[in-house]
Amino acid sequence: MSDSRPKELLRVEQLINEVKFEEALKIIENFEIKEPLTSEDQLSMLLLKGRIYGYNNQFEDAVTIGEQAYLMSQKLELVSESIEALFLKSRIMFVGRIDKALGFILEAEKKINSLADKSSSDILRQQVMFLALKSWGYWVKGEIELALKTAKQTLSQQENIDNKIDIANNYLLMGEIYSYLRELDTALDYATKSLDIAEELEFQPVIGTSSMLISRLYVSKSNYNQALDFCKKSLSIKEISSWDKVRNLNLLGEIYYFKSEFDRSLQYYNQAIALAEEENIYEQLALNLYHVGYIYRLQGEYDRAIETSESGLTLAEKIGYQYVAGGSLESLILICLDKGSIEQAKQYLTRLEKLSEQAQQKVITDWYSLSKAMILKMDGRTRNRAEAEVMLRKIIDDTALHSEYRQFALINLCDLYLEDLYLSKNLEILEDINPLLTETSMIAEQHHSYLWVAMTKFLQAKLALIQMKMDEAKHLLTEAQNIAESHSLDLLAIKISSEHDALLTQVDDWENLRKKGAPIGERLGLVSLEETIDVMLRKRGIQPPELTDEVPVLLLIIAEGGIPAFSYPFSEEWSIDDGFISNFLTAFNTFSEEVFSKGLDRAKFGEYTLVMDSFGSFSVCYLFKGQSYLAKQNLLQFAHRVQNTTSIWQNVNNFHKTHQPIVLSENPPLESLITEIFIKESPEISTLL
């Protein structure tokens, strides 16, 4: 485009580079009614307007303008302008017409190569834009290696052109590609760079899309609270497209699915379905129907699960969305197996086999292999179960397979062996199971799948119990709960904590079993393996007990050497009789070292439960009656607040100088903190999630 253009259009171009789109469109609107306009000026105006629409993710409008501008540029024999028009037309890739878009991009490349003078700034910009659109085209088409190679070329060329908008978009693409390649840290780095530039420019559409990508990456890293923050930030951007709104709602559904909060997950998936229907975004409609059907299955609503999954399957087949068609068929097979309808499951398997042959997509082939193994496993005949074992081992050994499918195969194989354990009562079978769980945990850690890591340790704890390894079981339960809590898997953390509490009340029972050499069948009766396995096999969701507030008994801050720096008895009997506290301190000095050295977080002290934490050179101990989960949260909150409240922390640290116990009446902030955390009612569970 020539710089002899009217000053209004030059100003528009400047405003576009400054991401002042509304102001630019206002000038264009006024310019359109200006008389007279040359054909060249009309064309320039159209191209600038189309560029704004493209940057604003208004792809259909950009394509429409591109078609008009292309006809005008051809008529006027303006090659540079026709290249710009082809760039606008190529935005059709973002509304599902990728092959047509790549044709426009290749046509633009030919025109660029036909230009005699390639040194002008406009032509250099077009060369970079060509590379950028080509890399996006490869990405949308699924040619990942070519997309990455071209995106890197684009990035190196963009250094010569000061266009931060396009740099932000290219960083976004690099983030998407590395996310697909599971190089999560690299992906997060590029996505963050994109967001930083977009925020500097106040470039709202890319703020929205970059935030959504960052959210997805945090989901992949099992950082669900951060994922929620960025997803909600993306949704707050009014300029994001309807497509991205649906994707964000889908992402919120996915986050709450991983957190096992299925009602919330359904809420967002159903919102995504409603918006996708309204905007005719059929790919997302099919995808969200598939997800909703899956959750209905986990909730045990099999009829609704089948109905919804069938709807998603029908739509996916109609629009040629093979991924969702395959996923829906796999889901329907699992539902039928849960219902015991093996023959119906086989019918769906036949359809999945045909789709696998047609699609030639590895993920669909993997679904078929897993589904076939599941059906064989459900068959009671020895030959079929043996074939299922062979198939599952083949899936496990396929390192190119997605980690989730390998983990699913590992747990199914564990389930086969556990069935043998229940039938044979032969403990040697655990020698086959334990390595499988170790491999499951290793794969899960490598791929940041901390739900699987926590669940695997939870199952390992129960198997340790069967082997009478009490300390190992308690240590694994503590590890599992800590992992769940650190990744905001609240329902799982509550479930594990309740099982740990139950174990502490059964210690004497287990000790009696050990002394009398109880048979394996009697031990299996005390361990709820089936429920844990079913959650890992995706047959049900996590069902934690209802939380109740603990009854506070005693709060202690203990210095090195077991010397009490502060004590606060909540119970009158403890405050009246100092012997209770003295006896407790004597016992504490005996078992605290053991508890901490074994990495445990709680212990029984008669009828009471003790949870502990440490800060600085002090230990803080909380004795109570009741459930440990909220008690532990209260203790952790107390320890954190003590350290971060200057007046309280100074008084605690002064103990090293004065060796005088802290007197509550002389420390009103500490008294207020204890009242706030321990004496008032604990929060409802809904406020914790």
Number of domains forming the structure of the chain = 4
Nearest alpha carbon to residue 129 among 97, 96, 160: 160
> How far, in Å, CA of 686 to CA of 689, rounded?
6
Is 262 part of a structural domain of the chain?
no
Structural domain boundaries, residue 337? 281-388
**Percentage, residues of the chain above pLDDT 70:** 93
Nearest alpha carbon to residue 554 among 526, 524, 577, 531: 577
Is 395 part of a structural domain of the chain?
no
Is 666 part of a structural domain of the chain?
yes
**Do both 535 and 558 map to the same domain?**
no
Do residues 302 and 339 lie in contact, with contact meaning Cβ atoms separated by under 8 Å?
yes
Mean pLDDT of the 76-98 span: 80
**Do both 186 and 83 map to the same domain?**
yes
Residue type, 110: K
Question: Is pLDDT above 90 for 487?
Answer: yes
Mean pLDDT of the 20-29 span: 86
Given this model, what pLDDT does residue 586 score?
Answer: 60
Ramachandran category for residue 19: left, alpha or beta (phi over 0 → left; psi -120 to 50 → alpha): left
> How far, in Å, CA of 166 to CA of 157, rounded?
11
Greatest Cα pair distance, the chain, in angstroms, is 103
Please, where are the H alpha helices in 428-506?
430-446, 450-466, 470-486, 490-505
> How far, in Å, CA of 524 to CA of 83, rounded?
73
> Among 248-252, 417-421, 677-681, whose mean pLDDT is lowest?
677-681
Q: pLDDT (tens digit, 9 = 90+) per residue, 291-346?
A: 999 999 999 999 999 999 999 999 999 988 889 999 999 999 999 999 999 999 99
In the sheet with 602-605, reading across from the earlier edge strand, the strands are 563-569, 551-559, 618-625, 608-615, 602-605
**Do both 410 and 347 map to the same domain?**
no
Q: pLDDT (tens digit, 9 = 90+) per residue, 263-291?
A: 999 999 999 999 999 988 888 999 999 99
Compute the mean pLDDT over every residue in the chain, rounded to the nearest whole number: 87
- Cα→Cα distances 158→10, 133, 168, 463, Å: 22, 13, 11, 57
> How far, in Å, CA of 441 to CA of 438, rounded?
5
Given this model, what pLDDT does residue 344 score?
Answer: 96
Give the DSSP letter of residue 680: S
The top-scoring range by mean pLDDT among 1-10, 497-506, 600-609 is: 497-506
Q: pLDDT (tens digit, 9 = 90+) per residue, 121-166?
A: 777 778 888 888 888 888 877 788 888 998 998 888 877 777 888 8
**Do both 169 and 65 map to the same domain?**
yes
DSSP reduced 3-state for 558: strand
Given this model, what pLDDT does residue 576 score?
Answer: 44
Residue type, 378: M
Q: Could you say which of 388, 410, 438 is where a domain stops?
A: 388
Peptide bond before residue 36 is cis, with ω within 30 degrees of 0: yes
The domain spanning residue 220 has which CATH number? 1.25.40.10
Q: SS in 3 state form for 358-398?
A: HHCCHHHHHHHHHHHHHHHHHCCCHHHHHHHHHHHHHHHHC
Do residues 63 and 88 lie in contact, with contact meaning Cβ atoms separated by under 8 Å?
yes
Given this model, what pLDDT does residue 583 score?
Answer: 62
Q: Could you say which of 509, 528, 545 is where a domain stops?
A: 545
Do residues 219 and 251 lie in contact, with contact meaning Cβ atoms separated by under 8 Å?
yes
**Do both 104 and 17 map to the same domain?**
yes
**Do both 186 and 80 map to the same domain?**
yes
Q: pLDDT (tens digit, 9 = 90+) per residue, 34-45?
A: 767 888 888 888
Give the DSSP letter of residue 559: E
314 vs 33: which has the higher pLDDT: 314
Length reported for the chain = 689
**Do both 145 and 54 map to the same domain?**
yes
Is 271 part of a structural domain of the chain?
no
Do residues 378 and 366 lie in contact, with contact meaning Cβ atoms separated by under 8 Å?
no
Mean pLDDT of the 611-630 span: 89
- Parallel, antiparallel, or unpaired: how do β-strands 608-615 and 563-569 relate? unpaired
E-strand ranges in 94-222 read none
Q: Could you say which of 388, 412, 437 is where a domain stops?
A: 388
C-alpha triplet 567, 568, 571: angle, nearest 5°:
130
**How many angstroms separate the first and last alpha carbons of the chain?**
56
Given this model, what pLDDT does residue 591 score?
Answer: 61
DSSP reduced 3-state for 117: coil
Is 393 part of a structural domain of the chain?
no
Question: Is pLDDT above 90 for 494?
Answer: yes
Question: Is pLDDT above 50 for 683?
Answer: no
Give the DSSP letter of residue 603: E
> How far, in Å, CA of 645 to CA of 623, rounded?
23
DSSP reduced 3-state for 614: strand
Question: Is pLDDT above 80 for 594?
Answer: no
**Do both 376 and 427 map to the same domain?**
no
Question: Is pLDDT above 70 for 8?
Answer: yes
> How far, in Å, CA of 274 to CA of 292, rounded?
12
**Do both 503 and 641 map to the same domain?**
no
Is 628 part of a structural domain of the chain?
yes
**Do both 80 and 188 map to the same domain?**
yes
> Among 11-20, 436-445, 570-579, 649-658, whose mean pLDDT is lowest?
570-579
576 vs 252: which has the higher pLDDT: 252
Do residues 375 and 392 lie in contact, with contact meaning Cβ atoms separated by under 8 Å?
no
- Token pair belonging to 110: 């030919």
**Do both 447 and 367 map to the same domain?**
no
pTM: 0.84
Cβ-count burial of 346 within 10 angstroms (0-12 exposed, 13-18 middle, 19+ buried)? Answer: middle
Do residues 607 and 574 lie in contact, with contact meaning Cβ atoms separated by under 8 Å?
no
Do residues 82 and 111 lie in contact, with contact meaning Cβ atoms separated by under 8 Å?
yes
Mean pLDDT of the 85-94 span: 81
